[in-house]
Structure 1
Amino acid sequence: MATSSDDMKLTFRKFKDGDHERRSWKDAIFEGDHSHKCPVYVHRTPPCQGSCPSGEDIRGWLQIVRGIEKPPADMSMQEYAFRRSTSANPFPSVMGRVCPAPCESGCNRNEVEDFVGINSVEQFIGDSAFNQGYKFDAAPALSGKRVAIIGGGPGGMSAAYHLRKRGHASTIFDDHEELGGMMMYGIPEYRVPRNILRHEIQRILDLGGIDVRLKTRVGKDVSMEDVEKEFDAVVWAVGCQTGRKLPVPGGDAPNCITGVDFLEAFNTGRIKVLSTDNIVCVGGGDTSIDVVSVARRLGRIEAENITDNPEDMIHGYVAHDSAMSAMRTGANVTLTSLFPKEKMTAAEHEVHDALHEGVTILDGVMPVEVVLNDKGRAVGLKMAKCQFEGNKPVPVEGTEFVLEANLIVSAIGQGGDLSGLESLDNGRGFIDTDKFYQVPGKQGHFVIGDIIRPHLLTTAIGHGAIAADSIDHYLSHEEPIKRPRVDVHHFKLLNKLQEVGLNPEAYSGEQVRGTSESKFAVHNFEDRSAQEIISHEKLFKGHFPFTPRNKRSEHGPSADEVIGHFQERMDCLTEEQAVAEAKRCMSCGMCFECDNCVIYCPQTAVYRVPKKEAATGRYVATDYAKCVGCHICAEVCPTGYIDMAMGD
């Protein structure tokens, strides 16, 4: 009987198209006769890390969780993984829940069967830190320099964190009642539990030297000139807090609102229920998914004299009581998207959850007009199927139809609000920057996050780290250093050797060749991580068996259960599950101590470094007096860590 495609677990291809003949292993052994090349151990950046906008050392903390990289003797695996993770990103619990995980899209394991669940392991690390009460290491002494950070969202908090680790004090100005920005006011609590978010914010503030001025808007309550006088540098992390209205006739009707306004009203508690039958959200991204999911949870009430205008609830003019909330029933909620479901920018699992919760998704359509009644209020949204001419959607003639709508929510993008800060406006509602996140023409001013270009929360976090580095140089009257081609937080072998007490000896300055017997250098290790991202083509994928992903258990509500369901949908992995999932990591570009090179070397030239001299990244070495350049070690290395590069 033929094997079905579902039963076939093809995990790799050994040969490229047209390359169908297996090499003789005997020929491979004697290839050294003409290659004269011996192995070099080359550290490269994995694509997960290269895809991470905050530049986390993902492979590093996966290695820690799985048990390959050992923590110091007085530290648990969980704490060591937390410290490695937060060297880049101080919000592991939050990002482990809501980041759309471009790292998983880039993961080389996709070439085997399925990506590593990086998000879920990050949540495990963050939640372990939350449960155990881990704090950051004590910050260094203050430098005496003070930086103003305008905006307390993910970018601003990241900048404050990374500046404090460099010894600089900061003051965060924010016009809200709490810090957190879009994490606090844009994402529903069932996706980001507020006790965890507030804990991760407070952990940053606990470093000391970070002051906060809430309900203070720079440009209105405080002038830019006063800020410049008081501080040595300024970071603009104001985000994009204004949504875009629908750019169609009637799009300015009073009951046409933005997704940003809708979600902020929900997250501040101004709305607990809706008074409308039909809600239509135009979007296709993560914000639109949050809007429709919240709308389904809120439901609607059929009581009289609540309000004639559903948008009044969004703007906070109507109070609710528990009796009203108890009367709610399900609202009809529709999401429209220009793109097919599989190409929507929202995360795939979020789209699936919205459908499961009873949201109707109409894809491949575009709005053409808001239908108004005689009072100028929206009663429907005229749609049409669309096709793209270049990058522009165009309605298909004759395909128009009308969706009934009492409330229309536009989630088609966000913009900045630079009122009072017009000198920073580049004419498009954003702030320009150079590659070091400096504002051109304004010395001492830096800018990060969505106000440069709307993107992910983790992107703003990454901006904060790079800007802190640039500010550190600025405050020291130094030119910013050239950023590496792969601009992420890299594993450093020297740091690891120092951590385990294997510091190299001091270099005398005399010896320049033949370092194999010297103790001042790791003679056959090369670090290319700042220049190269390792492709799956360099891996020996045949080493990795088909291993299903360890998924977080979910208990999302169905359409019948969704009303009033505000509990978190995903459970954290157990320690056993997190370790098992971390073991699926292929450790691209770094040795994970599989011993293949040692076992298969026919000359016994490759050997394990003595345990007392070994560390992560320093597990095997080569006796070049024995090596004949056969290439077998490089061919059987699963991680692409070995290059045949030494010699002619």
Structure 2
Amino acid sequence: MGKATGFLEYERINPKKRSPEERLQDWNELRLPLDPEVVKIQGARCMSCGVPFCHGGVLLNGMASGCPLHNLIPDWNELVYEGQWQEAYKRLTRTSPFPEFTSRVCPAPCEGACTEGHIMEPVTINTIEYEIIEKAFAEGWVTPVKSKSTEKKIAVVGSGPAGMSAAYYLNAVGHDVTVYERSDRPGGLLMYGIPNMKLEKRIVERRIELMKASGIRFVLNTEIGKDIAAQELVDRHDAVVLCAGATKARGLDVEGKELRGVHFAVDFLAVNTKSLLDSNLQDGNYISARGKNVIIIGGGDTGTDCVATSLRHGCESVYQFEIMPEPPKKRVEETNPWPEWPIKLKVDYGQEEAISLYGKDPRNYLISTKKLVGNENGEVKEVHTVEITWVKNASGRMVPEEVPGSEKVWKADLVLLAMGFLGPEDTIPNELKLERDSRSNVQAEFEVFETNVEKVFAAGDMRRGQSLVVWAIQEGKLAAREVDRYLMGKSVIK
């Protein structure tokens, strides 16, 4: 423990962000660095608990509690407080290969399980992690990882967080790793699924260049199952790790869903980022919200990202529809006890920006979409909704029930579906005849990761379904351990 009474003496200081008015003018990251002395004091707030729940990484009531990577958080909090930044970096990267990603896009289940957060504000774990890794890059402590070759050849399919993690660890123990990516840039979800405002692409590219310098090869614009047969890939390698994600987006089964101007949120975000990187949006190869009334169906991080992107385009208006009720402002201990992930109202960056611009939160709760209506050209012009309440049916399940007389018509020129994902695409699983679970994910037991096909492993969202980036990174690491054990009889990957 850096300072035994630190948690009593110092208040939590959240990371500073650029003002909404400023950041709406560009696509740059929101966060501003903190003074090192402020970070040091924040490290002193850690209680160094006898049982640090922040390490946990377990599922409680279906939600992550504590860090899935099992980061040694009190250790590096203390080291930062003591001014031992390089040692803090070493301790952080004992468990986390890419802190620059998790410190930016992870919702911090570690903070949700922080013991201090049970009675006061939790430690700023996410912020301290960010400051450690950015100082490490600035000081040149982050270097390529190389090892003596085992001459074992491994293919990793997908270059998102799970694929990058698997490749990183397999390369670190000496295997010859090639990552196959169907897009024109590596990074998967990190590159094209998360906007620049949360994760600038230079941060992803910085890590990719390090991985290339370590000897990892990236084959781009190549879709396994189409450009190269999945079976051919298996035949050419000693092992294959499938990390292609859960990219089958959930649609909206209502009248008018086929109208022009109705898009999946993931497509809206992906083409925007590609056009931004290719030409700073000058090529026009993106779905523009400029001057349009935008309706986003679905909440969560993806919905927020769509709000923020639409605002930067210069939309006329933007609303979010959520079928669930508005969360409480504080954790309700009776139904959501610590150390479960706290279910409470969060005003994220996109909502902050909408409030700054329009004077109100864009979210509307307990709303169900009934139909979409188009004009004579087949373009969406209206969204028809009804308010709902949640009631128990005869079998005791909670189901939505329409509120009579609550119908409403909303102007809409652009409708974005941010309703989550149904599972992985079928091409590779069908070709290799991989077993699937009840949710269509590739069947592979956690901490084993091997599928029913010899030498084929699966990790990340492709195996567990849509989840957090931090879970994908952990699954990639553990899958790498099992591949290494499969090939060598044992593994030093922990």
TM-score by length of 1: 0.58
CA change 1:176–1:346 in 2 (3 A) is farther
Any conservation in 1 of the 2:296–2:417 contact (CA below 8 Å)?
Answer: yes
Specify which of 292, 295, 304 is matched with residue 280 of structure 1.
295
Structure-to-structure mapping, 1:185-334, within 5 angstroms: 185-208=192-215, 210-269=216-275, 270-271=285-286, 273-299=288-314, 330-334=315-319
Any conservation in 2 of the 1:83–1:136 contact (CA below 8 Å)?
Answer: no
Aligned length: 405
- What one-letter code is carried by the residue in structure 2 that aligns with 1:164? N
Is 1:335 the counterpart of 2:292? The answer is no
Any conservation in 1 of the 2:102–2:470 contact (CA below 8 Å)?
Answer: yes
Match of 2:427 in 1: 419
Any conservation in 1 of the 2:451–2:458 contact (CA below 8 Å)?
Answer: no
Any conservation in 1 of the 2:355–2:362 contact (CA below 8 Å)?
Answer: no
Match of 1:470 in 2: 482
CA change 1:146–1:347 in 2 (3 A) is farther
CA change 1:185–1:55 in 2 (3 A) is same
Q: Deviations over 1:185-232 (max 9, x none)?
A: 011112112222211222233222x11111111100111111111111
Separation (CA, whole Å) in 2 of partners of 1:155 and 1:263: 20
Match of 2:110 in 1: 103
Any conservation in 2 of the 1:279–1:407 contact (CA below 8 Å)?
Answer: yes
- SS, match of residue 447 in structure 2: coil
- What one-letter code is carried by the residue in structure 1 that aligns with 2:459? I
- What one-letter code is carried by the residue in structure 2 that aligns with 1:334? Y
Specify which of 380, 383, 390 is matched with residue 381 of structure 1.
383
- What one-letter code is carried by the residue in structure 1 that aligns with 2:310? A
Per chain length, whose mean CA-contact separation is higher, i.e. which structure has more relative contact order (CA < 8 Å, sep 6+)?
Answer: 1
Any conservation in 1 of the 2:85–2:132 contact (CA below 8 Å)?
Answer: yes
- SS, match of residue 475 in structure 2: helix
Separation (CA, whole Å) in 2 of partners of 1:197 and 1:345: 31
Task: Kindly state the Cα deviation for residue 375 of structure 1 after the two structures are TM-superposed.
Answer: 4.0
Separation (CA, whole Å) in 2 of partners of 1:414 and 1:370: 21
CA change 1:201–1:62 in 2 (3 A) is farther
Match of 2:79 in 1: 64
Separation (CA, whole Å) in 2 of partners of 1:365 and 1:355: 19
Task: Kindly state the Cα deviation for residue 395 of structure 1 after the two structures are TM-superposed.
Answer: 2.7
Separation (CA, whole Å) in 2 of partners of 1:77 and 1:137: 22
Any conservation in 2 of the 1:48–1:58 contact (CA below 8 Å)?
Answer: yes
Separation (CA, whole Å) in 2 of partners of 1:424 and 1:224: 11
CA change 1:134–1:84 in 2 (3 A) is same
- SS, match of residue 342 in structure 1: coil
Task: Kindly state the Cα deviation for residue 62 of structure 1 after the two structures are TM-superposed.
Answer: 1.4
Aligned-residue identity in percent: 28
Separation (CA, whole Å) in 1 of partners of 2:213 and 2:91: 19
- SS, match of residue 238 in structure 1: coil
Structure 1: 5+ residue runs without aligned partners? 1-8, 12-41, 68-75, 300-329, 482-487, 490-648
Is 1:460 the counterpart of 2:467? The answer is no
Match of 2:408 in 1: 401
Any conservation in 2 of the 1:355–1:361 contact (CA below 8 Å)?
Answer: no
Any conservation in 2 of the 1:65–1:77 contact (CA below 8 Å)?
Answer: yes
Match of 1:165 in 2: 172
Separation (CA, whole Å) in 2 of partners of 1:436 and 1:443: 17
Match of 2:60 in 1: none
Any conservation in 1 of the 2:161–2:188 contact (CA below 8 Å)?
Answer: yes
Match of 1:82 in 2: 89
Query: CA RMSD for the aligned pairs?
Result: 2.8
CA change 1:248–1:54 in 2 (3 A) is farther
CA change 1:473–1:420 in 2 (3 A) is closer
Is 1:132 the counterpart of 2:139? The answer is yes
CA change 1:227–1:408 in 2 (3 A) is same
Task: Kindly state the Cα deviation for residue 363 of structure 1 after the two structures are TM-superposed.
Answer: 1.4
- SS, match of residue 199 in structure 2: coil
Separation (CA, whole Å) in 1 of partners of 2:286 and 2:451: 42
CA change 1:436–1:404 in 2 (3 A) is same
Any conservation in 1 of the 2:461–2:467 contact (CA below 8 Å)?
Answer: yes
- SS, match of residue 410 in structure 2: strand
Specify which of 428, 433, 438 is matched with residue 449 of structure 2.
438
Task: Kindly state the Cα deviation for residue 272 of structure 1 after the two structures are TM-superposed.
Answer: 8.1
CA change 1:238–1:44 in 2 (3 A) is farther
Separation (CA, whole Å) in 2 of partners of 1:221 and 1:44: 53
Tell me which structure has the larger Cα radius of gyration. Answer: 1
Q: Deviations over 1:451-485 (max 9, x none)?
A: 2210011110010111111111111246x99xxxx
Task: Kindly state the Cα deviation for residue 380 of structure 1 after the two structures are TM-superposed.
Answer: 1.0
- What one-letter code is carried by the residue in structure 1 that aligns with 2:370? V
Separation (CA, whole Å) in 2 of partners of 1:91 and 1:346: 28
Separation (CA, whole Å) in 2 of partners of 1:249 and 1:60: 55
Any conservation in 2 of the 1:175–1:214 contact (CA below 8 Å)?
Answer: yes
